Amino acid sequence: MKGTKFQLKVWKYLKKIPKGKVKTYKEVAIGIKSPKSARAVANACAKNPYAPKIPCHRVIRSDGALGGYSGRGGIKQKLRLLRSEKVVI
């Protein structure tokens, strides 16, 4: 994988989110021991060239909104992926 040290840390963490579960950008930031970096986590997700293999679609905003999706198909694809994993949106 190619990315910055921070991106790689985020992407590695994303692979641990189980199918059918979601986390917020803030929860991911806390999970990588960088609790004030939710915005940077969102940016790392946006730069993820390995979607959906690295499941950035499982990361949502704290207000419950989907946020963005870097994978092919954009936000519509993110919604499809989450629904296929039985995530209630």
Q: Point out the residues that are catalytic.
A: 56
The DSSP result for the chain, as a single string, is --S-HHHHHHHHHHTTSPTT--EEHHHHHHHTT-TT-HHHHHHHHHT-TTTTTS-GGGEE-TTS------STTHHHHHHHHHHHTT---
